[in-house]
Structures are given as structure tokens and as C-alpha cells.
Amino acid sequence: QVQLVESGGGLVQAGGSLRLSCAASGRTFSSYAMGWFRQAPGKEREFVAAINWNGGSTYYADSVKGRFTISRDNAKNTMYLQMNSLKPEDTAVYYCAAGSFAVATMKEYDYWGQGTQVTVSS
């Protein structure tokens, strides 16, 4: 069983930046595709970004493209989400996930972290 723990969330003003981290506990981190999802109050969980097993391919939701950057360091068993030019609509709980494919659908991910809160003030 892979365990994932997110960190780095917090309160930031609009236009600011945050860097989220997702630390994995297993030895097979490098074999998994990874993704970031978020859930705002009263809304369904939505796709944010994904990265394949070696970091060679990345995918972004249109709402964050050009502002967010997903990356991974397999030697450290850690995935990152660099968030720049943050907007109030980015406010949500952010979750990291691991699965077989770097896709936008939640059903392809087998393991999930506990989430970290990101709040962007106007």
C-alpha cells in the first residue's frame, strides 16, 4: 500500500505563489504516474495536473495552464506543484494521487493523500 502525504498549503494573497509537496512512502514511487486534484467548497473534485512515471510528460487543466507546474523527484519519492499567479478561484483542498496512467479522471488513481488547504485571498 502506497501512502501519500501532502504539505505546503496555506493562505496567500491573489497573485502570490505556493509550492505543494506530496511525499510517498513506498519503494515503487518511480513506477507510478502522479496527479493533483482539488475540491472547492460545494463543488466536485476536479483535475489539476498529472505527470507520468519519469516526469517526461505533463498535463494540465485549462484553468491552471501557464500558472502551475507539476514536477517530481523520484530519488526523493516526492511530487511537487508550483502554483504561481494564484487567484481566489484556486481556493480548494488539494489532493495528490498515484496511479497507472497520467490522466485527468479520478478512477485511474489508486492511492490518495489526505489533502492540504490552499486559500487565496483577494
The helix/strand/coil state of 19 is strand
| Per-residue confidence (pLDDT) for residue 26, from 0 to 100 | 75
The tens digit of pLDDT for each residue in 44-100 reads 999 999 999 889 999 999 999 999 999 999 999 999 999 999 999 999 999 999 999
pLDDT at 2: 87
**pLDDT score, position 31:** 86
With contact defined as beta carbons under 8 Å apart, do 45 and 57 qualify? no
Q: Which amino acid is at 52?
A: N
What would the pLDDT profile of 4-37 be if each residue is shown by its tens digit?
A: 999 999 999 999 999 999 999 976 778 899 999 9
For the segment 111-121, what is each residue's pLDDT rounded down to a tens digit?
999 999 999 99
pLDDT in tens, 57-66: 999 999 999 9
- The predicted pLDDT at position 28 comes to 73
Three-state DSSP state, 97? strand
DSSP 14: T
Half-sphere exposure of 104 (CA within 13 A, CB side): 7
pLDDT of residue 27: 66
Q: Is the pLDDT of residue 3 over 90?
A: yes
Side chain identity at 100, as an amino acid letter? S
Q: What is the residue type of 65? A: K
d(CA 21, CA 6): 6
Q: What is the pLDDT of residue 1?
A: 76
